[in-house]
Each structure stands twice: as C-alpha cells, then as structure tokens.
Amino acid sequence: MSQPVALQANATLPWLGGGDLATWIIAISILVSTILSVLAFLGIAQGMQMRVWRAQIESRLRIIEGYIGEVRDLVLERLRRAGVEDADKTVDTAMEYFMVEPVSIEPTDIIKRLERILRTGEERIESLVARMLRGRVSWQEERNIVTLLTILNALNTVYKVVRHMLLLGVKLKNPMLVMQAWMLLPLYMRIAKAYRDAAKVIMKGIPIGDAAGPLAAYRLISSLPKLEGPTEIAKDTVYALLDYEGRRVVVVKAKGPGSTVGRPGEAVEKLVEMLPDKSKIKAIITVDAALKLEGEKTGSVAEGSGVAMGDPGPEKIRIERIAARLGVPLYAVAIKMGMEEAITAMKREVADGVEEAVERVRGIIRDVAGEGDVVIVVGVGNTVGVAQ
Amino acid sequence: MSDAWLLIYMLLSLSSAALAVAVAAIVKAMRGAGEAGERVVEELRCPSCGYSMRRRFVEGDYVGHVVDFRCPRCGVSMVVSRIYVESAEPLRVKLFTRRRERREKHLNP
Ligand SMILES: [Zn+2]
C-alpha cells in the first residue's frame, strides 16, 4: 500500500481518518464563512441587518413616545391644577392639528394667504385653550400652555414621521427606507429631546435661547429714559419710546413674560403709520437669535443687513416692504446659538451675548442717527420669561 | 500548531473583544455624566444704585419682575435682570474629560 507523498503529509485531514482539534476548528470555520457568504449573496444577511435596524428604531421610538407622554402629562397636570378635568380631547385636537400650505404655483398674494393660514391656526389653538381655562390662570400661563401644545404637536410629528418610514420599509421589505430612518435617528432624537427639555423650561417660565432678542429689547427699555410706553400696539406686541442722547428710539418686542413671539411686523407697520415725519426714520434694527453653524461660538454676536427674523415670511416681509418704500436702511444683529440652545433654557454665554448685542445696537444708533432722528429697534423672538 | 496554543489564542481574542466593549461602555457613561448638572440662576439688580447679585432661580420670577427682596445698600426692591443656566460639572468628571476637551478645542471654541 503505497500512497502519494502529498497525501501522506495530509494524513491529519479528518475525512482521511485521524485528525486533531485544530484541524476540525479550521474546517468548521471555513464551512461557516462559506455558508455566510452564500447567505449574503441570497440577501438573507441584508434581512438580518434590517432586523437589527428595526429593533434599534423601535427602541428609540419608545423613547420618543415616553417624551410625548411626559409633555402631555405636564400639560394635563397644569390644567388639572387650574380645575380643568376633561382636557384630553382638546389636547388631542392640538396634537393632531395641521396646516395646509397655500397654493404656490400661482404666487400672487401668497404671503397674505400664508398669513391667513398661520393666524387661523394660532387663533384656533389659543381659543381652544382659552375656552377650556375660562380665565382661571394668568394671561402669561395661558400663552405658555399654548406653546406647550405646539411642542406636543411637533414631538408627535417627529414620532409619526419616523414610525411611518419604519413601517413603510418593513411593509415593502425595503431595507433602504429602514436604513434611512435608522441613519436619521440621531438627528430626530436630538430634536425630540430638545422639544422635551423646552417644554419643561417653558412650563417654569424660564427664558429660552430664542428670548435673546426680546431680552436685548428689555435691556434697552430698562437702561434708557422712557418717553412713552410700554404700550400694546399689535396682538401680544408692545412698543416703548425712549430717549437716547436726543435721538428717539422706538423699541418693539413681544409682550412678556408669557411665551409668545407677537407680531413684530404688524407693530412696525403701525408705528411707521403713526409717525408724522417719516423722513426722520434713519434705521430699522432687528435683533434676533440666529442658528450658528457647527464650530461657531455660542453667544457670539454678528452684524449684518436685512431683517433678522425666523418667521415663515408674513411678519418679515412687512418690515422689508416699509423699508423699501421709505428707503430706510435695515440693520440686523444676530446672537448665535445651536438649535437645542435656542429652545431650551438660555445659557450664560447667550445672556452675555445679549449684552454685547445691546452695545452693538447702541453703536449703530450713534452712527446713523443724529439729534431728533428716529430709530426703530425690534427684539425678535419668543419672549418667555422676559417682561418689558 | 498545537491544540493548546490555538485554544489560548482564541480565548485571548475573545477576551480582548469583551474588554473593548467594556471600555467603550465606561467611556460612554463618563461622557454622558459630563452633560448633567445644570442650575438655573437669576441676577437681581437694584434700579436705583445698580447693585447686583445672583441667586438660584425662583419659579414664578421673570426678567423685569420686581422681587420681594430689598437692596442691601439702599433698601429699594430689586428687579430680575437676567435668568440663565450655568453648568455645574462635578470635579471627578472634569479630571477625566479635560484632556479630551483640550484635544477637541478647535471643534468647540
Ligand atoms: Zn440699591
């Protein structure tokens, strides 16, 4: 019995009898990796990956669901303390409330139509809350509850969008949709957590980052001699007439300390109409919180031109149109912050940025206006926790 | 290769994988701890003499609110001038994260 030399050297191979543990392990691992690669070609590995993504998305969805529950309880608890027992139906209405975009292929008067839609939505939620509370809480708390309902609506939307992407992907067996939802999860989780934190802060009446503009307006009002006001001029919006070394400074801000952005555009429009000598207006300065780019410093202040305002358009365009009609320069001062910082409790850096922004505004007023001239300053943003 | 060596090699690779997972978990927990611990403070200012002081935020207060607290210098009721949050990181976490902060300074100025 003489075998070839090569086979004699392989005498340890299991199928030729004999063989030790090491050989078995190597053989099995080759077999396993072969099976796995065949599975990968058949798309089964992808199915397994999809299952992992799905499990992770579902666990995050449960967290967002928890946030919704927390905010909802916060609202219901506050309403119960005010003596409202059957608030569930109203809260559900506010949570599912939607707005339909105006027709945009025919742009004539689109801004007016958009304004109508936005105001209808705002007034509807406000009247729902007002009817429920019947004046049992202060005006500012009523505004805070309205904002909380808006936050609840936004959280609910985030939840529904992620759930939709997941369920659609699973239903159509489309790993791309599931993967898309999975990849966007960190961003959605950031947004959801920020909304949850915002609700807690607003409930307590603590100023949020977005209150930087109104806070700058407050600092101006409290530091300069007052000639007039503060008086309400448009819904939830006040103005004060101040004297700054002989110049007349008109400061506009939302009416605090309730959570509202007011109607700064409408207020400026009315104020300009009221002024007898419009040629005296030397500048309209808007101060607002602005979203920083990643890497920029929180609370840093920048100057620019235009109307610094984050509204969908109707308020901003009113100021732009007045400025264009009268030939008044538009100056903007921005206080930079991140998305989360804008809707959660104001950071020390932002509060310091507000001081600098006020200094910049004073600088612009000194530069552009002489004695007897008029400058309009608008502190744009949600004025929660900031009075006038 | 003998059986014993192969087994030792496999055990080592398994345990190093387990160690890596454990270290990652600890580092993650430590980073998370640094984000906690914020307190809300308010600054009070005397409208007549400008004296200012800080205290913990009291619910119901807002900027511009005249509080029930008199200026220690002239006895006028003080006004809330600013409300903001300050991070109050525990020292232990700082020791562990300072090096990372220095390294990532250009990312978080
Ligand atoms: Zn004093």
Q: Tell me the pLDDT of chain A averaged across its residues.
A: 90
Contact A104, A110 (CB under 8 A): yes
B1, B40, B81 ranked by CB distance to A22: nearest? B1
- A48 within 8 A of B33, measured Cβ to Cβ: no
Residue B82 with chain A: CB contacts under 8 Å? 215, 351, 354
**Domain carrying residue A38:** 12-42
Q: Give yes or no: residues A33 and A59 share one domain.
A: no
pLDDT of residue A354: 96
Asked whether residue A158 falls in the same domain as residue A222, the answer is no
Check residue A325 and give its pLDDT: 93
Percent of chain A with pLDDT over 90: 74
Q: Which of A187, A204, A221 is the last residue of a domain?
A: A204
Do A80 and A163 belong together in one domain? yes
Among B57, B64, B82, beta carbon nearest to A351: B82
Is residue A1 included in any domain, yes or no?
A: no
Q: Which residue has the tokens 């806070």?
A: A215
Residues A94 and A190 in one domain: yes
* Boundary-marking domain end, from A204, A227, A250: A204
Distance of CA B15 to the CA centre of its chain: 34
The band of B34, judged by pLDDT with boundaries at 50, 70 and 90, is very low
Q: Do A207 and B3 touch (CB under 8 A)?
A: no
- In Å, how far from its chain's centre is CA A168? 27
Coil, strand or helix at A376: strand
Q: Report the C-alpha dihedral over residues A306, A307, A311, A315, rounded to 10 degrees.
A: -120
What mean pLDDT do residues A102-129 have?
91
pLDDT confidence tier of residue B28, bands split at 50, 70 and 90? confident
Distance B52 CA to ligand 1 centre (A): 8
Rounded to whole angstroms, how far apart are CA atoms A373 and A328? 12
Instruction: Verify that A179 and A256 share a domain, yes or no.
Output: no
User: pLDDT higher for B105 or A195?
Assistant: A195
Q: Is the pLDDT of residue B32 over 80?
A: no
Same domain, A35 and A69: no
pLDDT bin (cut points 50, 70, 90) of residue B22 is confident
Tens of pLDDT, residue by residue over B66-94, are 998 899 988 899 999 999 998 876 555 55
User: Do A178 and A213 sit in the same domain of this protein?
Assistant: no
Statement: residue B15 has pLDDT above 90 = no
Largest Cα separation within chain A, whole Å, is: 122
How large a percentage of chain B has pLDDT more than 90? 28
Which of A173, A204, A235 terminates a domain? The answer is A204
For A258-283, what is each residue's pLDDT tens digit? 999 999 999 999 999 998 888 899 99
pLDDT at A363 over 80: yes
Residues at Cβ < 5 Å from ligand 1 ion: B 46, 49, 51, 71, 73-74
Average pLDDT over residues A182-208: 93
Q: A21-51 pLDDT, tens per residue?
A: 888 889 999 999 999 888 888 878 788 888 9
Confidence of residue A98 (pLDDT cuts 50, 70, 90): very high
Domain map (residue ranges) of chain B: 1-34, 35-109
Q: Integer distance in angstroms from the first to the last C-alpha of chain B?
A: 55
CATH code assigned at A263: 3.40.50.1470
A220 and A365 assigned to the same domain: yes
pTM recorded for the entire structure: 0.82
| CA pair distance B53, A4, nearest whole angstrom | 97
A172 pLDDT higher than 50: yes
Q: Are residues A120 and A138 in the same domain?
A: yes
Assigned domain for A195 exists: yes
Q: Are residues A161 and A262 in the same domain?
A: no
Q: Are A283 and A368 in contact (CB under 8 A)?
A: yes
Identity of the residue numbered A81: R
Q: How confident is the model at residue A1 (pLDDT cuts 50, 70, 90)?
A: very low
Number of domains into which chain A is organized: 3
- A5 pLDDT higher than 60: no
Cβ-contact B81, B44 below 8 angstroms: yes
Asked whether residue A165 is domain-assigned, the answer is: yes
Q: Are residues A105 and A169 in the same domain?
A: yes
Same domain? A252 vs A152: no
Does any domain span residue A270? yes
Report residue A327 CA to chain centroid gap.
33
Neighbour-count burial of A311, counting CB atoms closer than 10 A to its CB (0-12 exposed, 13-18 middle, 19+ buried): middle
> Peptide bond before A257: cis, by omega within 30 degrees of 0?
yes
Q: What is the pLDDT of residues B92-104, one digit of tens each?
A: 555 555 566 566 5
Considering only CB atoms, A346 lies closest to which of B2, B61, B83, namely: B83
